[in-house]
Structure formats: C-alpha cells, structure tokens
Amino acid sequence: MRRKKKTVYPILENVEITTIAAEGKGLGRIDNFVVFADKAIPGDVINAKIIKKKKDYALAEIDSLVKPSEKRIASFCEHFGTCGGCKWQHVDYTFQLEFKQQIVEEAFRRIGKVAIENIQPILGCEETIFYRNKLEFTFSNRVWLTREQIDSGEVFDRNALGFHTAGNFASVLHINQCFLQDEKVNTIRNAVYDFAVKNSYTFYNLKFHEGLLRNLIFRNTTLNEWMVTVCFAENDMEKIELMMHFLKDNFSFITSLNYIVNTKKNDTIYDQEVITFHGNNHIIEQLGTIRYKISTKSFFQTNSKQAKRLYDIVKDFGNFSKNDLVYDLYCGTGSIALCIANDCKKVVGIEQIPDAIIDAKYNAELNEINNCVFHAGTCEDILKEEFIAEHSRPDIVVVDPPRAGLHEKVINVLLEAAPKKIVYVSCNPATQARDVLLFSEKYAVTKCQPVDMFPHTFHIENVVLLELKS
C-alpha cells in the first residue's frame, strides 16, 4: 500500500502571538484562523511552520522568530528544546506566573462558567531550579540524535541515560546536566552511566524489550535523606550486585539503596517487588511538624517546600474545627490528612494504591496521630451510601484527584452527601473547572488560590473552596 504523501503547507508569516493556550502553546490569529505554536509566547511575532491543519486552526512550530517577545530570556539548560521537560525556561519567571494565572482564570470562565471575583494571585516558588524531590531517568540503547548528527555519517555511542524526547517515546536524550533536582543527582547519574559503559552493561531497548539496565530513580528530602532505586529488566544477579555495590561504596550519603527486577513490557513498578540492598527501605520527609515515610512506590508532592505552602492553603480554606468529620479523597500517603488531623475530630482517607495506604498508616503512627483511618481502593468504588452510613456524613471533604479530575460517581455521591465545604486541590485547572460546573447547582466557589509547583513548565496546582449554598 502506497503511503500518503505528507502535505507541505506554506509558511504563515508575521503571526503575532497574543496569549497562552492549552499545553503551554502560544496562540495567534490570522483573521479568524487560529494558530497554536509550540515554544511561542505572547509578544512574539513569528513565521509559523504548520505541522497539522484543520478548517479553523493549525498546530505549528516556529520557523523563524521575526520579533522576540520582551518576556523571552535565554534558556539555562543545554537540553532545552529537545528534552520534554522545562518547556518554559525561555520565559521570564514573573511572566510564567502571569501566564499560569491567566490559564486558571480562563479555565473557570470558559469551562466552569464561573467568573471568580476573589481569585488570589498565584503563589510562586522561592526556588526555581533544583526544586524537585524525585526524578526518574531511562536507560536506552537508542539515543536521540540530531538531524545533523545523523547526516554527518559519524558513528555515535547509542547508549543513553536520560529523558524521553518530546513526542518520541522510543528514543532517549542523554542528559549531561539536569537542573530539576539536587546536583548530587547529576553526579550519581553520570557515574552510573560511565560505570555501566565501562563494564559492558546492556541498555534497554524499548522496541524489542532487551537489555539489562532500565530505569534509575532518585528521591530526596529536606532532611537530606536520599533514596536511589535501579530498575533492571533481567535477573542477572552478578551484574545487579556489581552495580549496587558500586553505588553503596561510592555514595555514602545514600540512605536507602534499592533495586527492582522488572521483566514486564511496561515501566510501571507498582506491581513489582522492591528489594532493599542497603540502608532503610524508605526515607523520611518533614513538612512543618509532620513527618512522612516515603518508599520507592509512594506518591508524594515532588516539590516539598511548595507542598508545605499548598497544605497550609488547604488548612486555611477548610478552617477545620474539632467537631468536623473530614473525608480526604485520593489521600496518597496521608500528606494532607495528617496535616489537618489535629484540627479535626476525625479524618477518613481513601486511596487507590495499596502501598500508599500502608505508608499513610505508618505515617499516622510515626506522628502519634490516632484520629485518621485509611481505606485502599478507588474512590468511585468505595465512596458509596453504605460507606457514608458506616463513617457518618462528612462535614468537610478534601479532594486531590489525578489530572483526569473527579469521577462522575464521586461527584454524585458528594452532591447527595452535601458536606458544608469541599476543598478541591487540582493539578489540572481544566478538569477542575469542569467538575466545579457539575457542583454549581449546590455549591458556590468562594475562594481560589493557584500555586506554582513546577517552575518552567505549564503545569499549575490550584485550590478551590466550594461552600454549600444556603
């Protein structure tokens, strides 16, 4: 079968970018025709190369920059533009916050049909580099090469340890220096790569599912505890132990050293056994007075310092009292539940991942908190009339769902239960606004606070207070 020829579109000249659209793309117009341009920002005038065209809009990339926006700055990372992360590092941070504020306001106006009068200015990060507490790198024997490298005919080392490139999951960009997590990560990662090459370790091939080295996961805490987990795709104990001894002997600050043998075709580790090679099987984080056990599989906010500020907002919006029964839906390792427990009568948490529930119970014991109970399972399966009858109707509900937002069944149960307040924490203002619209019959939005958890990205955390209408 003959392949369809790819359409070559003419360059759209002098497109002025006026605002930011979904996924952080710049938006411009030519008459009524909309252009979404990757890496373009408001104030840019660009010549746009069309990638995909529909009747009234096109997806494009910058062919040339006619006039740069005053909001543009020089990127600080050598991998910018190729790596799939930090897509806004060419934007001044002050303007990043302005754009994120606009995205939240636009989501609620357009999707939630709510014009929030008292939306608070976005809470920015004090640290905009080296702010993360978790990173996961991928080993691959299919390193990403530039077109110039390919055309040169030169032979390159095809092994890589880094991140997947934007829009291309099959290849991996080798990372020399990353600015997302503590510099120790760069030191360990580069040492592991050199050790692996020197000792003839095979790097994973995603297409054929071959190769020993698969993933390298880092976690650290503000208490300076470090967890390193190596994922192998084959049970070669001789080479596994050699690698683990290398890490143990050369990086004494690692407090939890683990490995996983994952022979499945996908990278998910939640169904895999984690074997602790050295140290503890967890690390400890502290936010305020609350300490948290974090294991390899645990969900925890990846920006610890900003997470503390986020949870303080939840406490402020909830204004909890000693008479309040609180449900914490999508509770993870109990991070929010434990922060508010001392202000409430009781907290009931629900979380899908069983290991997270184990950690949540451990965290409650660690902090000598005895008024929290945790249940493993999906919220839509557990949160039913019988569950509410058993635990009593909640006075306040805190929800922190994944990017997809709340399941319709959960919304319906909450509407029926009618708690006096719902504190809705979201990492996706679009789905949050959609859900707020579904609550609007019974609830009014009385507070809204955007929080920037991830500088140099278009991701936004947003907290909304919904109060029962009288």
What pLDDT is stored for residue 147 in this prediction? Answer: 66
Q: Is residue 83 annotated as a catalytic residue, yes or no?
A: no
C-alpha–C-alpha distance, residues 135 and 216, integer Å: 8
* Residue 285 pLDDT greater than 60, yes or no: yes
Report the CATH number that the domain containing residue 240 is assigned in CATH: 2.40.50.1070
For the ranges 7-21, 90-104, 221-235, the one whose mean pLDDT is highest: 221-235
Residue 35: band (very low, low, confident or very high) from pLDDT cuts 50, 70, 90: very high
Same domain, 171 and 138: yes
Residue 4: band (very low, low, confident or very high) from pLDDT cuts 50, 70, 90: low
Same domain, 149 and 24: no
What pLDDT is stored for residue 40 in this prediction? Answer: 94
Same domain, 148 and 253: yes
* Residue 383 pLDDT greater than 70, yes or no: yes
pLDDT in tens, 304-354: 999 999 999 999 999 999 999 999 999 988 999 999 999 999 999 999 988
What pLDDT is stored for residue 116 in this prediction? Answer: 75
What pLDDT is stored for residue 297 in this prediction? Answer: 86
Same domain, 20 and 44: yes
Assess if residue 320 is contained within a domain: yes
Residue 327 phi, psi dihedral angles, 5° rounding: -100, 135
What pLDDT is stored for residue 44 in this prediction? Answer: 96
Residue 42 phi, psi dihedral angles, 5° rounding: -55, 135
What pLDDT is stored for residue 5 in this prediction? Answer: 66
Same domain, 146 and 281: yes
pLDDT, average across residues 219-236: 97
Q: What is the mean pLDDT of the chain?
A: 92
From 125, 178, 379, 427, the catalytic residue: 427
Q: Which domain holds residue 256?
A: 134-287
Tokens coding 27: 């938006």
Same domain, 320 and 389: yes
Strand (E) or helix (H) holding 226: strand 226-232
Same domain, 59 and 150: no
Nearest partner of 184 among 140, 231, 232, 219, judged by Cα: 219
Assess if residue 80 is contained within a domain: no
Assess if residue 294 is contained within a domain: no
Assess if residue 259 is contained within a domain: yes
* Residue 153 pLDDT greater than 80, yes or no: no
* Residue 6 pLDDT greater than 90, yes or no: no
* Residue 167 pLDDT greater than 80, yes or no: no
Task: Work out the angle between the directed axes of helices 429-439 and 93-110 (0-180°, nearest 10).
Answer: 30
Report the CATH number that the domain containing residue 66 is assigned in CATH: 2.40.50.140
Inter-residue contact 298 to 317 (CB < 8 Å): no
pLDDT in tens, 417-459: 999 999 999 999 999 999 999 999 999 999 999 999 999 998 9
Assess if residue 92 is contained within a domain: no
